[in-house]
């Protein structure tokens, strides 16, 4: 039987490395709960950053294209574009945040092997 130390939240715990105790330690509620919270936090961070990047790029390209189509190239082009983009970006962020997850699930359902 081997002995080991486990460090958790700056507290060092002494435990016996027994396979049955090790299985209990990994399957106990606090360990599983902390893993679940960590995954949810990472998923939320990923989702927000992904939404921000996607909305910035798409709203930037679409606003620039539509502004150019509507007004053509002029001296005021960039001022008109920036004014339209500062209105379009928050709307695109909210839209991608709300619609992104259902669209991903729908795509998975369509492409799932039958």
pLDDT (tens digit per residue) in 68-107: 999 889 899 999 999 999 999 999 999 998 888 888 889 9
**For the chain, which residues make up each domain, given as ranges?**
2-111
pLDDT (tens digit per residue) in 20-39: 555 445 555 565 555 656 66
Sign of CA dihedral 63, 69, 74, 76: negative
Closest CA to 31 of 6, 2, 14: 6
Average pLDDT over residues 37-58: 80
Query: Two tokens at 21?
Result: 């105790």
Length of the chain in terms of residues written: 114
Check residue 9 and report its DSSP letter. Answer: T
pLDDT (tens digit per residue) in 7-17: 555 544 444 44
- Give the torsion through C-alpha atoms of 52, 56, 62, 66, to 10 deg: 130
């Amino acid at each position: 039987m081997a002995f080991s130390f486990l460090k958790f939240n700056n507290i060092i715990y002494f435990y016996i490395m027994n396979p049955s105790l090790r299985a209990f330690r990994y399957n106990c509620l606090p360990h599983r709960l902390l893993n679940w919270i960590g995954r949810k936090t990472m998923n939320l961070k990923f989702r927000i950053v992904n939404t921000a990047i996607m909305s910035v790029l798409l709203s930037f390209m679409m606003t620039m294209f539509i502004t150019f189509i509507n007004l053509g190239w002029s001296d005021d082009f960039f001022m008109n574009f920036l004014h339209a983009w500062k209105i379009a970006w928050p709307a695109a962020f909210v839209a991608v945040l709300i619609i992104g997850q259902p669209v991903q699930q729908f795509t998975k359902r369509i492409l799932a092997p039958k």
